[in-house]
């Protein structure tokens, strides 16, 4: 199906050259025909006139022979000769009898009377008796057939006249040259004899002077038109080239843009199909992590310069069968050939190394998503999207990695889209439910606290556990709203319980690391809690160590403000992921939550327990309370009690539960 985007692009690409060429030819043709017609018409007109003059002159001479007799023969002949000296158009006069016998002639020509023809002198009625005999060899243009001359109009036929004009040097024509010349006999019957006058009809360029002047003017105008047309046509072609260059060039790298990439990649895959899939092709998405931070530090221009360098470096490593384009911001699309996955991974790794060598002083991280193209697949945007998805689904931006696309990723992406579509509505409709998981004291094993954990009761999907949406909210920022919502729910709940005179315990809420970009986070939290007038020490805030990676100073400031304001602040998931004892040194916290991971796994339990007891000892020395998470067995509870761990949170005592259930049980 052709999308409207494709239509728009095609419209831009369409080169409308033919109409221009045809238009130009048409103009030239029209002008040519007009010129030919004008020329023919004027030659015709001049010829007609000259034929008339010649007839006139011939009749005048014939009149001299009206009373011709033997006596006056000599004097008349002298008279004719004198006349011929004056009139240069008549070359010879002859007298012949009706039988064709020549009585006298002023020259040596003799007409071939078989070729006589009555000229149609409609205009010159007075000469209706005149016969014209055309000299066969006087003009090449005349055609004789079976003793009949088929000329009259043929003489004047533009088709016959034009070759004369073209044969001669055109400018010489202007210089008094004869354009049309032919000899004809006028045969005038006088009494018993016939007077023949051989007329040399010649049409000179000067006869057509006005005509030629107008032709020149005409030609100049035509030339102007044609020139104008050609110039605008050339400039049209130039602008077409420029448009298509703009259409296909990436402004940052100066190389192919995405449109061109799609075009090239499509034709390469097509070529490969025709060669029975000689090569394996992979679509690769490559992105530079923290490009924005780079631009913030060094400026956008530097950033774009870097993209250009990367582009050139990548392009150098491609073969002719492959293609590359800068896509967006710091992303590239590559169409690569490969022999097997191992070889492809090795190549991509070396590509990464090559890019890293461009800025040796800085360690850059790259995300690479790969989609192995199957036979017959050709929708480049879709293929690229799969590669991009593979990259996006594969994890955080903190290290380089190469991820291959799999079908699960597609499902996950669809789920993400659904979550994002529904989340705002869910917040308004209170679809997010607070569940509480008790924290039980070791020793007396009594309720000593609780953790608020969110559950999504979706109208169509039903119960959704947090691991299916929290990571998505962390990526898209919605987690900020959700955490605020949970905090407010807990503050409200505590206020209600206080008002009802219930014995309350501190309830903790989770605070995602995304909050710590906010400078006024402590004030913001106070403002939410203070709406319900609850003492701050019944609210505990759980934050994970990963918040440390972003802005250490901001974290330390906020934590100290929160503790000064009376909130209990705890470190969640200690021992999971990137924990380091170092963070305990700098961060002054109230509670340490030991991650459930310590109590899981097989074989290394003993070592795990050893570490737990050491961590507990350390935390005690730092004046922190200890909560152990994910406790599922009596043995674990007893062990923790022995180690003087303060609180226990886990399925052994209770799973997270809705508030009404929590109220019933505790």
Q: Where are the alpha helices (DSSP H) in 4-109?
A: 4-13, 18-63, 73-86
Which CB sits closer to Ca ion, 489 or 573? 573
Binding partner of residue 479 among ligand C2E, Ca ion, none, CB cut-off 5 to 8 Å per kind = ligand C2E
Over the range 282-305, which residues count as b (16 or more CB within 10 Å of their CB) and which as e? bbbbbbbbebeebbeeeeeeebbe
Does the protein bind ligand C2E through residue 630 (CB under 6 A)? Answer: yes
Q: Does 486 bind ligand C2E (CB under 6 A)?
A: yes
For residue 523, give the H/E element and its range: helix 521-530
How many residues bind ligand C2E (CB under 6 A)? The answer is 24
Pick the binder of Ca ion from 489, 573, 590, 646 (CB under 5 A): 573
CB of 515 to ligand C2E, least distance (A): 9
* Contacts of ligand C2E in 489-518 (CB under 6 A): 510, 512
C-beta of residue 58 within 8 angstroms of C-beta of residue 186 = yes
Gap between the Cα atoms of 469 and 420, Å rounded:
9
Residue 561 Cβ, how far from ligand C2E at the closest point, in Å?
20
- Cβ proximity to ligand C2E: between 132 and 470 the closer is 470
Query: Considering Cα of 569, then 575, then 577, then 580, what sign does the dihedral take?
Result: positive
Show the tokens assigned to 610: 């050893």
Site membership for ligand C2E, residue 470 (CB under 6 A): yes
Handedness of CA 34, 35, 37, 42 (dihedral sign): positive
Stretch that binds ligand C2E, among 134-142, 371-379, 459-467, 607-615 (CB under 6 A): 459-467
Does 483 contact ligand C2E by CB under 6 A?
A: yes
Is residue 542 at the binding interface for Ca ion, with CB under 5 A as the rule? yes
Chain positions 393 to 412 lying near ligand C2E, rule: CB under 6 A, are: none
- Taking the complex as a whole, the smallest distance from the CB of residue 571 to Ca ion amounts, in Å, to 10
Query: Which ranges of 280-331 does DSSP label H, i.e. alpha helix?
Result: 291-298, 300-316
Token output for 107 = 């020259």
Q: Are 96 and 27 in contact (CB under 8 A)?
A: no
Chosen from ligand C2E, Ca ion, none, partner binding at 51 (C-beta under 5 to 8 Å by type)? none
Among positions 180, 403, 447, 454, the unique one binding ligand C2E when judged by CB under 6 A: 454
Q: Which two tokens stand for residue 333?
A: 């699309």
Residue 623 binds ligand C2E (CB under 6 A): no
Contact in structure between 132 and 117 (CB atoms under 8 Å): yes
Determine contact, residues 644/620, Cβ cutoff 8 Å: yes
If contact means CB under 5 to 8 A according to the sort of partner, which of ligand C2E, Ca ion, none does residue 466 touch? ligand C2E
CA distance to 166, 442, 598, 610, per residue, from 605 (Å)? 110, 21, 8, 9
333 in contact with ligand C2E (CB under 6 A): no
Q: Whose Cβ is closer to ligand C2E: residue 261's or residue 574's?
A: 574
160 forms part of the interface with ligand C2E (CB under 6 A): no
Given 90, 479, 589, 637, the residue binding ligand C2E (CB under 6 A): 479
For residue 351, give the DSSP letter. Answer: H
Q: Which chain residues interact with Ca ion by CB under 5 A?
A: 510, 542, 572-573, 629
Q: Which chain residues interact with ligand C2E by CB under 6 A?
A: 437, 453-454, 465-467, 470, 479, 482-483, 486, 510, 512, 572-573, 596, 629-632, 649-651, 656
């Amino acid at each position: 199906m052709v999308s409207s985007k494709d239509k728009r692009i095609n419209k831009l690409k369409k080169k409308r050259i033919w109409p221009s060429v045809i238009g130009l030819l048409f103009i030239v043709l029209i002008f040519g025909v007009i010129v030919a017609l004008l020329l023919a018409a004027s030659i015709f007109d001049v010829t007609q006139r000259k034929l008339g003059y010649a007839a006139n002159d011939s009749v005048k001479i014939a009149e001299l022979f009206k009373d011709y007799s033997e006596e006056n023969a000599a004097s008349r002949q002298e008279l004719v000769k004198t006349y011929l000296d004056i009139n240069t158009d008549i070359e010879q006069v002859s007298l012949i009898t009706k039988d064709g016998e020549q009585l006298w002639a002023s020259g040596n020509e003799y007409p071939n009377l078989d070729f006589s023809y009555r000229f149609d002198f409609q205009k010159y009625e007075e000469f209706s008796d005149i016969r014209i005999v055309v000299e066969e060899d006087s003009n090449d243009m005349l055609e004789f057939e079976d003793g009949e001359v088929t000329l009259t109009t043929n003489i004047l036929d533009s088709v016959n006249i034009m070759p004369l004009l073209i044969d001669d040097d055109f400018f010489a024509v202007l210089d008094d040259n004869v354009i049309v010349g032919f000899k004809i006999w006028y045969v005038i019957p006088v009494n018993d004899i016939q007077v023949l006058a051989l007329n040399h009809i010649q049409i000179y360029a000067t006869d057509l002077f006005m005509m030629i002047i107008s032709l020149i003017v005409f030609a100049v105008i035509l030339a102007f038109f044609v020139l104008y047309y050609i110039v605008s046509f050339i400039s049209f072609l130039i602008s077409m080239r420029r448009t298509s260059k703009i259409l296909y060039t990436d402004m940052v790298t100066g190389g192919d843009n995405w449109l061109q990439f799609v075009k090239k990649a499509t034709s390469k895959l097509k070529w490969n199909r025709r060669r029975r899939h000689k090569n394996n092709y992979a679509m690769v998405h490559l992105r530079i992590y923290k490009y924005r931070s780079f631009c913030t530090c060094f400026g956008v221009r530097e950033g774009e310069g870097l993209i250009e360098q990367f582009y050139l470096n990548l392009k150098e490593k491609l073969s002719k069968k492959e293609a590359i384009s800068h896509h967006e911001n710091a992303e590239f699309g590559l169409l690569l050939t490969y022999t097997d996955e191992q070889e492809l991974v090795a190549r991509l790794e070396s590509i990464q190394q090559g890019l890293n060598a461009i800025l040796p002083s800085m360690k850059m991280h790259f995300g690479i998503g790969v989609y192995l193209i199957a036979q017959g697949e050709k929708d480049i945007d879709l293929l690229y999207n799969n590669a991009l998805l593979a990259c996006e689904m594969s994890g955080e931006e903190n290290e380089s990695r190469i991820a291959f696309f799999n079908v699960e990723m597609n499902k996950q992406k669809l789920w993400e889209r659904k979550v994002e579509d529904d989340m705002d509505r869910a917040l308004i409709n209170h679809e997010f439910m607070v569940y509480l998981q008790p924290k039980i004291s070791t020793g007396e094993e009594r309720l000593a606290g609780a953790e608020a954990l969110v559950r999504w009761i979706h109208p169509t999907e039903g119960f959704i556990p947090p691991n299916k949406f929290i990571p998505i909210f962390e990526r898209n920022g919605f987690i900020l709203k959700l955490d605020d919502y949970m905090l407010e729910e807990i503050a409200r709940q505590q206020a209600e319980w206080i008002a009802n005179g219930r014995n309350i315990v501190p309830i903790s809420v989770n605070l995602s690391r995304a909050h710590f970009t906010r400078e006024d986070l402590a004030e913001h939290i106070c403002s939410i809690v203070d709406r319900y007038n609850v003492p701050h020490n019944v609210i505990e805030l759980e934050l994970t160590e990963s918040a440390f990676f972003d802005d250490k100073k901001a974290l330390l400031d906020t934590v100290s403000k929160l503790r000064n304001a009376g909130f209990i602040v705890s470190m969640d998931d200690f021992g999971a992921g990137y924990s380091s004892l170092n963070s305990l040194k700098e961060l002054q916290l109230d509670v340490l939550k030991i991650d459930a991971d310590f109590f899981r796994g097989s074989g290394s339990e003993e070592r795990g327990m050893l570490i737990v007891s050491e961590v507990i000892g350390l935390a005690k020395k730092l004046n922190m309370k200890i909560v152990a998470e994910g406790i599922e067995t009596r043995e674990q509870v007893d062990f923790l009690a022995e180690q003087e761990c303060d609180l226990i949170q886990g399925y052994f005592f209770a799973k997270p539960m809705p508030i009404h259930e929590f109220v019933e049980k505790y």
